[in-house]
Amino acid sequence: MAAAPVWSVDPRTGKQREQVAVEATAEEVDDAVRAAHAARPALADRTVRAAFLRTAADLLEGAREQLVEAADAESALGPVRLTGELARTCYQLRAFADIVDEGAFLDVIINHPDDTATPPVPDLRRYKVPLGVVAVYSASNFPFAFSVAGGDTASALAAGCPVVVKAHPDHPALSELVAAVLRRAAARHDVPEGVIGLLHGFQAGVDLVKHPLIAAAGFTGSVRGGRALFDAAAARPVPIPFHGELGSLNPVVVTEAAAAERAEAIGAGLAGSMTLGVGQFCVKPGLVLAPAGAAGDRLLKSLTDAVSDTDAGVLLDHRMRDNFIAGVAERAELPEVETPVTPGAGSEHTVSPGFLTVPAHRLATEGEHDLLLEECFGPLTVVARYEDESEASAVLSRLPGNLTATVQLSTEEAAGEGRGAEILAELTPLAGRVLVNGWPTGVAVAPAQHHGGPYPATTSTSTSVGGTAVERWLRPVAYQNAPEALLPPELRDDNPLGLPRRFDGRLER
């Protein structure tokens, strides 16, 4: 049987643009993984790794015009958004190069023998080593930052792990272009092209996570698809770590005092956040707990005005459009659900933004309204009106894990008066990033960033954004009583590589 073709599709029209590739066979998956596995020694030198990452960033920038044009044709996200996302991707590659140069991620710890301790301490030297070949599953909504050259790939290469990427079907042409750029960067440093593998096709993604030479996987996508791959990773004869980002509701709590103080600003800010990128951000605020009463009414009016002034937009593909329209209709039919601005179909290829309202008590206990506690991908949010603080707390107690949770506080509450600290404590178990008086869309690439959260937001406790993302692709190993001459240079007493380390309990820079 001939392999199925892979087409590039224009989401603005639903029409096929060009055939890009064919779906990978099991043999081709095996070839890609084995080529990546063979490339591991070329990444052993940290100097080479750092230079490779910086060259990749330089070459991506050099191909900006071609890449942005291809990305826009397949995603309809627009040149401005995509140019910024490419810049973020290049920044991220260089940031990981800096991390590789510094070496702190190796977490070097040296303990010399201590016979006076109980029990005695032998000579112990610990650091972290690469896991091996990493499988990366691209996301649809960030064709640069969470795709072929995105954070999973950059952090895996920084750790010393070759990568095999399963391309997302929404941007196959762009995936091929970016992979070619990364391979050119590799060649400039005598790193085999196999260090970056690229595969197309659903079955190829399944075969990839099951391949015995795959040591770990990173995924960004749906709960259904991510959970299936997570289960496959755990069911292998040798289970592997699966770092999956699966979905998030990203709740927002607006206190009564905050609404009274600045209802109009909160409504406008919420509208901007939930419609940004046609609501296709993984950190879109999907549930808002807002007070009933006059202040809450003012907030809703502001939200209504701002959302009504927002144009319809194109989703990443027509399947997502169909799911969004069906999901909105199903939610809107629930008892006591109202639609101040009706979301749904725009023109033949677009969707219009909107929001739903519901009394918060409908979400405080299990029932048919639980559908409102599930993510609906697209420009939709649900505003649950609470009568008192206990009702809001009851809803929060029922929420699953999230990437973010946000609270809008008044000036006095932010200064420590009232329940601000209590609400923060309520939100902390729910999310990996807790915001005060801000909006969750926009994830800064910074050392302290955490982009993760309790299940189902992610399947692990790690982050996919920020410097500590590299930790996902490493494992610790300790040497006991190994002669100095046999130790890797990272663990020798004279520290020939000049690494940060903890030496007999003292932190050395």
- Residue 80's contacts (CB-CB under 8 Å, 6 or more residues apart) are none
Q: With the CA atoms of 356, 370, 232 and 474 taken in that order, what torsion angle do they form, in degrees rounded to the nearest 10? A: 70
Residues in the chain: 509
- Is 245 assigned a catalytic role? yes
d(CA 21, CA 175): 11
Unique residue bearing structure tokens 């005092």: 257
Catalytic residue, chosen from 28, 74, 245, 426, is: 245
The secondary structure of residue 452, as a DSSP letter, is -
The pair of structure tokens assigned to 356 is: 């739903």
The pair of structure tokens assigned to 386 is: 């609470």
Question: Residue 177: which of 63, 258, 26, 259 has the closest Cα?
Answer: 63
The secondary structure of residue 429, as a DSSP letter, is G
Catalytic residue, chosen from 282, 413, 426, 490, is: 282
Q: What angle do CA 420, 426, 427 make, to 5 degrees?
A: 90
CB atoms near residue 326 (< 10 Å): 12
Helix axes 202-210, 223-235, angle to 10 degrees: 30
- Is 484 assigned a catalytic role? no
354-359 and 338-341 strand pairing: antiparallel
Query: Phi and psi at residue 160, in whole multiples of 5°?
Result: 95, 20
The secondary structure of residue 183, as a DSSP letter, is H
Contact between 39 and 162 under an 8 Å Cβ cutoff? The reply is yes
Active site residues: 245, 282
